[in-house]
Amino acid sequence: MDEKERIEELRRLLHEYNIRYYIYNDPIITDLEFDSLMNELQKLEQRHPELYDANSPTQRVGSDLNGNFEQVEHKYPMLSLSNTYNEQDVASWYDSVCRGLDGENFNVCCEIKFDGLSISLIYIDGKLIRGVTRGDGVHGDDVTTNVRTIRSIPLVLQPGDYPREFEIRGEVLMPWNVFDHLNKERELAEEPLFANPRNAASGTLKSLSSKLVASRHLDSYLYYLLGENLPCDGHFENMQKAAEWGFKISDAMRKVSSLDEIYDYIKYWDVERKNLPVATDGIVLKVNSQRQQRLLGYTAKSPRWAIAYKFKAERACTKLTDIKYQVGRTGQITPVACLDEVQISGTSVKRATLNNEDFIKKMDLHIGDYVYVEKGGEIIPKIVGVAYDKRDAHILPATFITHCPECGTELIRYNGEAAYYCPNDSGCPPQIKGRIEHFIARKAMNIDSIGPETVDEYYRRGLIRNFADLYDITVEDINGDGNRERSAKKIVNGIEASKSVPFERVVFALGIRFVGETNAKLLARYFKNMDALMGATEEELKAVDGIGDVMARSVIDYFASHENRKIVERLKHYGLRMSIEESSEENTTDKLNGMSIVISGVFATHTRDEYKMIIERNGGKNVSSISAKTTFVLAGDKMGPAKLQKAEKLGVRIIDEETFLKMLE
Ligand code: IVH
């Protein structure tokens, strides 16, 4: 077999394995085997650029800049569905279908209404040609490069009786677990949170970096096949076919033939939807036969043959007992409503978000009011109204605090911002501790030998006042005269190991307001070293693609502080990375994500420090001692016998230099 044939074979095999994994949840090879075939394909494709194919399984990783999206016209307009909210409305739709079909029998396909963003996919000769957003229903954005990174969307179909050309529509979704994880990261970076998975999926799919899209693990469900020569008349049957071709189709689709069965379906999924991995906001009912669909036709906005039934957002009425004020790492004050505990959607709710002072004023909230609280698609319950008729005549309007609840400093409001801030950044405890917690976070310096409780303890004991102090801590400081020497050593080693974290992450770890992970990378790559970044003018900062006025100002303000400059100088002195590795951009992957690696012995190709950096750059974590949690030991010559024995005892793999470097190719 020549290399061209092997490329074709690998592409075919990998498409099949992808579908088994992402569509059927039934992988037929191990991850390791998959990775090794993917590696082989990548290498062969590098040798044969003339055989480039945008639909190759290797193209799922995305690129950094896609450029702006082109607007394209939908072949068939993307209509919406009319909504119903109760059984009577469903019954009248059902009656209207009966009348429209002159009493002819008909089936209804009941489906889940997924709460993401709709997408239209065009396939020709079994290959994905284009992915377009709904847009205004007539024109949408061509987001093909981003769509290609979504693993559950097949790039090439499995053999089957699909038409030469067809369109399939569905929903792009961000699963709850991905959404929760993403928001946690954003919270740490003090970036604005996504209110719900729909916004997160939409923001992601419209990103100009398909690499970012690939990293966000979007999912999809397809629910509508359009084209001239579809295999069956029945919508349900066509969707079963689409599943065979490799599309992800919901298992929850049911074909029914009576109103009672529709009610049963609604009742069942109104409860059971809480166990689904993605957000849903209702049920969709579709007349199954396409012939009958054509008979029923369309109104100006929506089909007569389909309707949506929307689930009710659960709501409760409870008492607002107090408003508490939280102080974030950047000093931002967040008001939180304290409520008499109440059950909503099976969870007990005691707090609700209040956004800012304007919200409190607009709602005219009084402490002691009875308020309506809803938990819809949003993660945090929100107050949607006040039961003014229940208001006690003696209670007073809530007034926003004027001084920091933690340090007593007078609060300020920046120009044009709705939020208040405590300006005492160097003396306000939650701000100090918050900055240290941010510094040690996984995406920053990745020091997981300490957590928020330890930060709190060291702060109380006066061991740390800022994150540079971490590098001065000794085993004796931690241990005092106690018996915590072992864990103290582990902590100090963990701090030491963080010195090999790449420069981009050091910039992020500083916790400059508005500078999240991505922007820290942009700054690091542009200025290349800390001195250049510290000395940059506002104009120079704004010259960086992706850095706007607010962020440029924030960087200037950060380095204008004598205190901050002193901290950075100390970090430099301790040996943290203060400049970019020239080759680091190409060498950054997530191949070692989640792996804890111990380095031991003497190496031939790279030094130990270089290996530490390689591990960090590829998403892995350097740990100093072997435990059951260690993924493997990277062993050179003369690995210590004690380490060897421990690794063997715990069954931890030992990998030599050559194998390790191969893993990263
Ligand atoms: S069918 C002409 N089925 O809901 C009918 N839509 O307001 C085309 N949606 O824009 C849509 N789940 O984004 C259909 N199972 C499902 C759906 C669904 C979610 C969304 C879709 C559409 C909106 C309708």
Distance 152 CA to ligand 1 centre (A): 18
Asked if the structure places residue 282 within a domain, the reply is yes
Query: For position 305, what pLDDT does the model report?
Result: 97
Residue that has been written with the tokens 């075939």 in this structure: 37
Q: Which of 171, 269, 280 to mutate to test the pocket of ligand 1 (most atoms within 8 A of CB)?
A: 171
What local confidence, expressed as pLDDT, does residue 410 receive? 97
Torsion angle of the four alpha carbons 189, 195, 198, 202, in this order, in degrees rounded to the nearest 10: -50
For residue 365, how many other CB atoms are within 10 A of its CB?
20
Is the minimum distance from the CB of 273 to ligand 1 under 6 angstroms?
A: no
Backbone conformation region of residue 627, classed left if phi is above 0, alpha if psi is from -120 to 50, else beta: beta
Q: Please name the residue that has the structure tokens 């999240």.
A: 516
Which range in 43-57, 187-201, 271-285 is most confidently predicted, on average pLDDT? 271-285
* pLDDT above 70: percentage of residues in the chain: 97
In sequence order, the 6+-apart residues with CB closer than 8 A to the CB of 444 are 438, 501, 505, 508, 509
CATH code of residue 550: 1.10.150.20
**CATH classification at residue 49:** 1.10.287.610
Q: Is 116 among the domain residues?
A: yes
Question: Measured between alpha carbons, how far is residue 279 from residues 215, 248, 370 in Å?
Answer: 20, 16, 29
What CATH number corresponds to the domain at position 360? 2.40.50.140
Read off the pLDDT band of 623 (50, 70, 90).
confident
User: Is residue 590 assigned to a domain?
Assistant: no
Tell if the pTM clears 0.85, that is, is over it. no
User: What is the total count of domains within the chain?
Assistant: 5
Q: Domain containing 633 — which CATH number? A: 3.40.50.10190
**In this predicted structure, what is the pLDDT of residue 35?**
81
Is residue 411 a part of any domain in this protein? no
pLDDT per position as a tens digit, 347-365: 789 999 888 999 999 999 9
Q: Tell me the pairing of strands 306-310 and 280-287.
A: antiparallel
Compute the distance between CA of residue 446 and CA of residue 350 in angstroms, rounded to an integer. 33
Same domain as 225, residue 83? yes
Q: What pLDDT was estimated at residue 314?
A: 78
The answer to whether the beta carbons of residues 242 and 222 sit under 8 Å apart is yes
Query: How much is the CA Rg of the chain, to the nearest whole Å?
Result: 29
Contact 193, 187 (CB under 8 A): yes
CB 490 within 8 A of CB 624: yes
Instruction: Return the pLDDT at 663.
Output: 84
Q: Is 284 in the pocket of ligand 1 (CB under 6 A)?
A: yes
Of the pLDDT bands very low, low, confident and very high (cuts 50, 70, 90), residue 482 is confident
Mutate to test the pocket of ligand 1, among 113, 134, 302 (most ligand atoms within 8 A of CB): 113
Which residue, 13, 29, 59, sits at the end of a domain? 59
Q: Is 166 in the pocket of ligand 1 (CB under 6 A)?
A: no
Nearest CA to ligand 1 atom 17: 113
Mutation probe of ligand 1 site: the residue of 85, 238, 284 with most atoms within 8 A of C-beta: 284
Say if 122 falls within a structural domain. yes
Whole-number Å distance between alpha carbons of 291 and 280 = 29
* Single-letter code of the amino acid located at 407: C
Q: SS in 3 state form for 247-287?
A: CCCCCCCEEECCHHHHHHHHHHHHHHHHHCCCCEEEEEEEE
Which domain covers residue 160, as residue numbers? 71-310
Query: Is a pLDDT exceeding 90 seen at residue 617?
Result: no
Question: In this predicted structure, what is the pLDDT of residue 376?
Answer: 66
What is residue 36's predicted lDDT score, i.e. its pLDDT? Answer: 85
Phi, psi torsion values for 500, nearest 5 degrees:
-95, 5
Q: How far apart are CA 28 and CA 36, in angstroms?
A: 14
**Six-digit token string for 269:** 């999924």
- 121 SS3 class: strand
Is residue 160 domain-shared with residue 271, that is, in the same domain? yes
Cβ count within 10 A of residue 415:
4
Residue 492 shares a structural domain with residue 611: no
Q: Is the CB of 58 under 6 A from ligand 1?
A: no
Residue 421 lies in a domain: no
| Under 8 Å between Cβ of 253 and 224 | no
Q: Are residues 35 and 87 in the same domain?
A: no
- Give me ligand 1 centre to Cα 198, in Å: 14
List the residue whose alpha carbon is closest to atom 23 of ligand 1: 80
Q: Is the CB of 81 under 6 A from ligand 1?
A: yes
Please name the residue whose Cα sits nearest to atom 18 of ligand 1: 113
CB 143 within 8 A of CB 206: yes
Atom nearest to 117 CA in ligand 1: 13
Q: Which residues of 572-597 are buried (b: 16+ CB within 10 A; e: fewer)?
A: eeeebbebbbeebeeebeeebeebbb
- Pairwise CA distance, residues 12 & 18, whole Å: 10
Same domain, 111 and 238: yes
> 308 CB under 6 A from ligand 1?
yes
Residue with CA nearest ligand 1 atom 6: 113
8 Å CB contact between 278 and 258: no
119 close to ligand 1 (CB < 6 Angstrom): no
Whether 13 and 152 map to the same domain: the answer is no
**CA separation for the pair 436, 586 (Å, rounded):** 30
Residue 410 lies in a domain: no
pLDDT digits (tens, 9 = 90+) for 378-415: 667 889 899 999 999 999 999 999 999 999 999 999 87
Question: Are 546 and 622 members of one domain?
Answer: no
Helices 3-22 and 31-47 pack at an angle, to 10 degrees, of: 140
Quote the DSSP letter at residue 174: -
Q: Is 309 in the pocket of ligand 1 (CB under 6 A)?
A: no
Q: Which pair of tokens denotes residue 267?
A: 């009742």
Token pair of 85 as six digits: 């909210």
The pLDDT of residue 648 is 87
Q: 220: pLDDT confidence band, cut at 50, 70 and 90?
A: very high
532 & 547 share domain = yes
pLDDT at 130 over 90: yes
What element of type H or E holds 1?
none
Contact by Cβ (8 Å): 290, 230? yes
Q: How far apart are the first and last CA of the chain?
A: 24
Please check whether residues 358 and 453 belong to one and the same domain: no
Task: Based on the fold, state whether residues 637 and 572 are members of the same structural domain.
Answer: no
pLDDT for the residue 377: 60
Identify whether the C-beta of residue 353 lies closer than 8 Å to the C-beta of residue 359.
Answer: no
Q: Verify that 498 and 512 share a domain, yes or no.
A: yes
Mutate which of 79, 93, 114, 250 for ligand 1 pocket (most atoms within 8 A of beta carbon): 114
Helices (H), 78-133: 87-100
Q: Per this entry, what is the length of the chain?
A: 665
Q: How many C-beta atoms lie closer than 10 Å to residue 438's C-beta?
A: 21
pLDDT tens-digit map of 530-582? 999 999 999 999 988 778 888 999 999 999 999 999 999 999 999 999 998 76
Pairwise CA distance, residues 55 & 43, whole Å:
16
Q: Which residues are catalytic?
A: 113
Q: Is-contact 98 125, C-beta < 8 A?
A: no
Q: Where does a domain end: 39, 59, 79?
A: 59
Mark whether 182 and 306 lie in a shared domain: yes
User: What CATH code is carried by the domain that includes residue 149?
Assistant: 3.30.470.30
Distance CA 292, CA 57 (A): 39
Which of 310, 327, 352 is the last residue before a domain boundary? 310
Centre of ligand 1 to C-alpha 81, Å, is 7
Distance between CA atoms of residues 616 and 359, nearest Å: 43
Q: Closest Cα to atom 16, ligand 1: which residue? A: 113
Least confident of 138-142, 153-157, 376-380, 524-528: 376-380
C-alpha 468 to ligand 1 mean position (Å): 53
Residue 488 lies in a domain: yes
Angstrom CA distances, 67 to 63, 64, 72, 128, 146, stand at 10, 9, 15, 20, 11
CA 113 to ligand 1 center in whole angstroms: 6
Please work out whether the CB of residue 113 comes within 6 Å of at least one atom of ligand 1. Answer: yes
